[in-house]
Amino acid sequence: MTTGLIQTIDTPDGPFTIVADTDGRVLASGWTDDGTRALGRIHASLRPDTLTTAALTAGDAALSYYAGDVAGIDEVAVRQQGTEMQLLGWAALRRIEPGEPLTYTGFAEALGSPRAIRAAASICARNAPALFVPCHRVLRGDGSLGGFAWGLEVKRSLLDREARVGLV
């Protein structure tokens, strides 16, 4: 039986729940107060059987992000399970600068596969540790928001926050 850690914090975008392994690496996170919803996004091989409430370093980083330090999430350790392409994609998402979103086409190009636009979108859709692996920084080719597991209002809010910080 594996145990995980869970913390829910209040953010301007609503409750934000973080599920981590016992080493504090984020397995999943999102704008919900429903731990089951966050758990469901974790790859079965990493999903904890039980959760214990804990204060997490990732929670502090998320609060710093909302306080204006949008780079505060960059050093948070995450743990994901996927294909080689997914792992490369999730690492590439972490290199997208705040305030400089990419299109799905640009993201596919950054992965070295300019024709793999659907694969790029799938990588974003399967990203469990939202915010810490900033899939919200990828947009449709026409600049519209596209999809986001936690709602387009949250995605717009995150992008607006990052754009404002870049202007200060």
Residue 164 is predicted with a pLDDT of 86
Q: Are residues 56 and 118 in the same domain?
A: no
Which of 44, 41, 38, 40 has the alpha carbon at shortest distance from 19? Answer: 38
List residues with catalytic annotation: 135
Say what the pLDDT of residue 125 is.
Answer: 95
Average pLDDT for the chain: 94
- 135 occurs within a structural domain: yes
Give me the percent of the chain exceeding a pLDDT of 70. 98
Residue 79 lies in a domain: no
Q: 105 and 130 share a domain?
A: yes
Residue where a domain terminates, one of 73, 96, 124? 73
What pLDDT shows up at residue 116?
Answer: 87
Residues 148, 98: one domain? Answer: yes
Model confidence at 18: pLDDT above 60 = yes
- Tell whether the model's pLDDT for residue 168 goes beyond 50: no
Residue 17 lies in a domain: yes
Q: d(Cα 58, Cα 22) in Å, to the nearest integer? A: 13
Are the beta carbons of 42 and 27 closer than 8 angstroms?
yes
One-letter amino acid at 89 equals G
Residue range 63-122, pLDDT digits in tens: 999 999 999 899 999 999 999 999 999 999 999 999 999 999 999 999 898 888 999 999
What local confidence, expressed as pLDDT, does residue 166 receive? Answer: 58
Average pLDDT over residues 119-147: 94
Cβ neighbors of 101 (< 8 A, separation 6 or more) are 137, 138, 139, 159
Residues 89 and 131 in one domain: yes
Higher local confidence (pLDDT), 166 or 44: 44
